[in-house]
Structure 1
């Protein structure tokens, strides 16, 4: 009986960790997508960090994590491009 308890808790911990990583991948994608429209200075880096953390934890949603990473980088590229064009720290459509 003592041998089965750690195995059961290990499986639960692994599922929880994977579920957390999957949630981070989805959150990264959503924040990266939202960051293209508003608050890209804040949402871009958050999307990048969440994507890297999800990939490091071994998410099953690797595609979403990579999309979140790409969108986070795109947020920062859009911000820098808009800053160069307008000469200010913010931009609007």
Structure 2
């Protein structure tokens, strides 16, 4: 009998971990510029990516937690600036 491990089933945990690591890094990289621009878009995306990465057991837990914190900071900053300016500070026209 052949005792070789099937390549499709053997790569799944490593691939899933690699995906989670990528999500953790993406969360950080999207949360950081979200402090300056498009915080109403980049903040929630950073939060979702960080939570998914943490749920999948990323090896880059610190990066995911930092992305989560930055995403939350993006939203807090947006709310604070909106309140301080008595409305939204951007216009689409």
**Alpha-carbon spacing, 1:4–1:75, altered in 2? closer, same or farther (3 Å):** same
Q: Partner of 1:83 in structure 2?
A: 82
Deviation string 1:43-71 (CA, Å, 9 cap, x unpaired) is: 00000000000000010000000000000
Gaps of 5+ in 1: none
CA separation in 1, counterparts of 2:33 and 2:87?
21
Helix, strand or coil: the match of 1:5?
coil
TM-score scaled by length of structure 1 = 0.88
Q: Partner of 2:9 in structure 1?
A: 10
Q: CA RMSD in A?
A: 1.3
Give the length in aligned residue pairs: 89
TM-score scaled by length of structure 2 = 0.88
Helix, strand or coil: the match of 1:38?
coil
Gaps of 5+ in 2: none
CA separation in 1, counterparts of 2:10 and 2:53?
19
1:88 Cα offset (Å)? 2.0
